[in-house]
Amino acid sequence: MPFDLKGIADRADMIINGYAFTKDKEHIRVLNLNCINHAAVIFRDKIIETNMDDIENQIVLEYYEHNKQFMEE
């Protein structure tokens, strides 16, 4: 089954600098659309699961913190 990058981007609630942020109940799933093997899960404003390095984690959290009010309800 091929990876549906366009579908993920279309379903994202917010995209910032190539990172797709998608609500999943109380979690936020993050995917780097430019490097699809980099992903994270945010819960209560903290990354609880990731395979990104520390620098990328910090970048993702900053994007999320500064823009979470724009995520669709």
Looking at the 3D structure of the chain, how many domains does it have?
1
Nearest to 28, CA basis, from 38, 17, 39, 37: 39
Residue 66 binned pLDDT confidence (cut-offs 50, 70, 90): very high
* Cβ-based neighbour number of residue 21 at 10 Å: 22
For 3-62, the pLDDT digits (tens) are 788 999 999 999 999 999 999 999 999 999 999 999 999 999 999 999 999 999 999 999
Q: What is the average pLDDT across 66-71? A: 91
Integer Cα distance of 46 and 23 in angstroms: 14
Position 2 scores a pLDDT of 63
